[in-house]
């Protein structure tokens, strides 16, 4: 299947494949954990049954998605060593501790409280259970903090030095953790996770409203999700723009690839809307462009000069076609999300939020848009920083393990087969759960247990808990 590929290319393919499969689950569970905390808080506050029904409904989905995130995540934590051992040896002293802190402050917190969150409401009572839910939600956010700090350090390394063994060592931990691109990447990614989840929740709500616009649960989740899209999608565009300006400052070559700027422009660079990047010839074929708009967006001046890839040695070019197109896919998805948010706002003011078939069909179609945008965004940022693993300092070819190509080819094939079998099944189970509308007396993730009293309220739950003691 992979004859003639060299070991480093195979290792990159394997990392890209396993990472792409992994990232969609955390992106979904970061948002969903927060949503579950909000639902449970609303239930405790208002005592309305619809909130605990929605909580239990999404909790079952969370359990399946979280499990898939955990197992694909364990793979990632070992793959640094198995396939990128030279990288691990050289950068371990700097990013190793960041990842160790991720395990200590986030993974244990999530895993420790997950069992109680999933199965423990009857055993610990509503208040302590809410605490567990909160800890899981906070854990997912802390996890994002550390892993994005580590990733950002690889993109914009600061606060480090080299030792005699050729290893990176930390000189200033604060500068390592809060490196220049980290705050932008963190905000951009957490907003992306929230949007991704909101679009799934919105799509599921819309799906059920298309069949019956009077269902209480779908109405609540659809309305909440559309508020998120209305408010967060524009914020995300703003955050993305700021992140782009930060990238222009610290990784200008990545921006050149994203914009398809092969040539330098002394008097204002165009904004290339579409085109076919011809990496070999070093030019953009079939370009559709708006003159000077590129400089206006990136430098806030029509005539600002902009350097192109012609100022960069070819061996330092990232793969332009992938970077250029993945960026456009991400932006396109973002604009569609803003459109959905605005349309829902219009329908809301017209009072047809729960009856507009057009809006509901649009929302259903947008279900995967968050995942597509997240993947496209990560492909943009990770491809655009090539050919380096630590930007400007350590090349990807010098990072790989000393493995024979057949070893990596075999493991890559094994990953492809196993992931397709396992995750296809998982996605089918998730869709099957989502195909059922949340109903009165919705149960948590349990299937063969006699139902609790339907429509339990916090007060009744507390009484039952007290009686049990």
User: Which residues ranging from 109 to 138 are in contact with another protein (CB under 8 A)?
Assistant: 109, 111-116, 118-120, 123-124
Token pair recorded at residue 28: 């979904």
329 lines the binding site for another protein (CB under 8 A): no
Q: Kindly state the smallest distance separating residue 170's Cβ from another protein, in Å.
A: 6
Token pair recorded at residue 300: 């806030």
Nearer to another protein, 172 or 303 (CB): 172
Exactly one of 6, 104, 266, 435 binds another protein (CB under 8 A); that residue is: 104
Phi/psi at 355 (nearest 5 deg)?
-120, -10
Q: Kindly state the smallest distance separating residue 135's Cβ from another protein, in Å.
A: 8
Contact status, residue 73 vs residue 22, Cβ threshold 8 Å: yes
Q: Kindly state the smallest distance separating residue 372's Cβ from another protein, in Å.
A: 23
108 lines the binding site for another protein (CB under 8 A): yes
Alpha helices in 156-211 (DSSP H): 173-177, 182-211
Q: Kindly state the smallest distance separating residue 59's Cβ from another protein, in Å.
A: 12
86 lines the binding site for another protein (CB under 8 A): yes
Residue 263 CA to residue 223 CA, distance in Å, equals: 47
Exactly one of 20, 73, 287, 464 binds another protein (CB under 8 A); that residue is: 73
Nearer to another protein, 273 or 462 (CB): 462
Nearer to another protein, 1 or 404 (CB): 404
Nearer to another protein, 94 or 306 (CB): 94
Exactly one of 2, 17, 101, 178 binds another protein (CB under 8 A); that residue is: 101
Nearer to another protein, 358 or 414 (CB): 414
Exactly one of 6, 46, 47, 77 binds another protein (CB under 8 A); that residue is: 77
Nearer to another protein, 200 or 239 (CB): 200
68 lines the binding site for another protein (CB under 8 A): yes
N- to C-terminal Cα separation, the chain: 62
403 lines the binding site for another protein (CB under 8 A): yes
80 lines the binding site for another protein (CB under 8 A): yes
Nearer to another protein, 133 or 323 (CB): 133
Binders of another protein among residues 30 to 49 (CB under 8 A) are none
Q: Kindly state the smallest distance separating residue 262's Cβ from another protein, in Å.
A: 38
Phi/psi at 291 (nearest 5 deg)?
-60, 140
Q: How many CA atoms within 13 Å lie on the side-chain side of 24?
A: 20
Nearer to another protein, 56 or 401 (CB): 401
DSSP assignment string, 403-422: --HHHHHHHHHHHHHHHHHH
Collapsed DSSP state (helix, strand, coil) of residue 371: helix
393 lines the binding site for another protein (CB under 8 A): no
Phi/psi at 318 (nearest 5 deg)?
-80, 165
92 lines the binding site for another protein (CB under 8 A): yes
Total residues at interface with another protein (CB under 8 A): 78
Reduced 3-state DSSP string for 301-359 = CCCCCECCHHHCCHHHCCCHHHHHHHHHHHHHHHHHHHHHHHHHHHHHHHCCCCCCHHH
Nearest to 140 by CA among 180, 190, 183, 175: 190
449 lines the binding site for another protein (CB under 8 A): yes
304 lines the binding site for another protein (CB under 8 A): no
Q: Name, in order, each residue with C-beta under 8 angstroms of 197's C-beta and a sequence gap of 6 or more.
A: 28, 30, 31, 32, 34, 35, 370
Q: How many CA atoms within 13 Å lie on the side-chain side of 148?
A: 24
Binders of another protein among residues 154 to 193 (CB under 8 A) are 163, 165, 167, 169-170, 173
248 lines the binding site for another protein (CB under 8 A): no
Residue 390 CA to residue 166 CA, distance in Å, equals: 13
Is the previous residue joined to 387 through a cis bond, with omega within 30 degrees of 0? yes
Nearer to another protein, 57 or 354 (CB): 57
Binders of another protein among residues 414 to 433 (CB under 8 A) are 414-415, 418-419, 422, 425-426, 429, 432-433
């Amino acid at each position: 299947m992979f004859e003639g590929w060299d070991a480093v290319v195979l290792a990159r393919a394997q990392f890209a494949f396993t990472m792409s499969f992994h990232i969609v689950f955390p992106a979904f569970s970061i948002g969903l954990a927060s949503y579950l905390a909000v639902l449970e808080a609303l239930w405790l506050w208002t005592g309305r049954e619809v909130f605990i029904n929605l909580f239990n409904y999404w909790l079952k989905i969370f359990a399946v998605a979280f499990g898939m995130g955990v197992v694909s995540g364990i793979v990632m934590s070992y793959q640094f060593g198995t396939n990128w051992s030279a990288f691990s040896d050289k950068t371990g002293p700097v990013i190793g501790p960041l990842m160790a802190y991720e395990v200590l402050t986030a993974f244990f917190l999530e895993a420790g409280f997950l069992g109680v969150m999933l199965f423990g409401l009857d055993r610990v009572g509503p208040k302590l259970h809410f605490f567990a839910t909160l800890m899981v939600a906070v854990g997912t956010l802390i996890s994002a903090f550390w892993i994005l700090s580590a990733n950002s350090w690889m993109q914009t390394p600061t606060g480090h030095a080299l030792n005699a063994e050729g290893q990176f060592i930390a000189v200033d931990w604060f500068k390592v953790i809060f490196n220049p691109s980290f705050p932008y990447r963190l905000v951009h990614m957490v907003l992306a996770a929230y949007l991704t989840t909101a679009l799934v929740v919105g799509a599921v709500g819309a799906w059920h409203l298309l069949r019956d616009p009077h269902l209480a649960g779908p109405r609540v989740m659809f309305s909440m999700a559309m508020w998120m899209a209305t408010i967060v999608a524009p914020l995300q565009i703003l955050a993305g723009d700021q992140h782009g300006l930060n990238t222009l400052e610290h990784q200008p070559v990545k921006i050149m690839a994203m914009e398809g700027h092969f040539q330098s422009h002394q008097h204002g660079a165009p904004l290339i809307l579409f085109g076919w990047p011809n990496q070999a010839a070093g030019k953009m074929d079939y370009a559709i462009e708006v003159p000077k708009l590129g400089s206006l967006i990136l430098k806030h001046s029509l005539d600002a000069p902009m350097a192109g890839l012609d100022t960069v040695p070819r061996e330092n070019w990232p793969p332009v076609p992938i970077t250029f197109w993945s960026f456009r896919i991400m932006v396109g998805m973002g604009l569609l999300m803003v459109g959905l948010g605005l349309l829902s706002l219009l329908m809301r003011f017209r009072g047809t939020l729960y009856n507009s078939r057009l809006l509901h069909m649009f929302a259903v179609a947008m279900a995967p848009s968050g995942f597509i945008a997240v993947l496209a965004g990560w492909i943009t940022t990770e491809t655009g920083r090539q050919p380096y693993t630590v930007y400007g300092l350590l090349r990807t070819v010098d990072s790989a393990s000393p493995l024979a190509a057949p070893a990596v080819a075999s493991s890559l094939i094994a990953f492809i087969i196993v992931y397709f079998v396992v995750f296809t099944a998982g996605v089918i189970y998730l869709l099957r759960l989502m195909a059922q509308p949340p109903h009165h007396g919705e149960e948590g993730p349990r299937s063969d247990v006699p139902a609790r009293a339907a429509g339990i309220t916090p007060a009744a739950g507390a009484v039952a808990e007290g009686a049990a003691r």
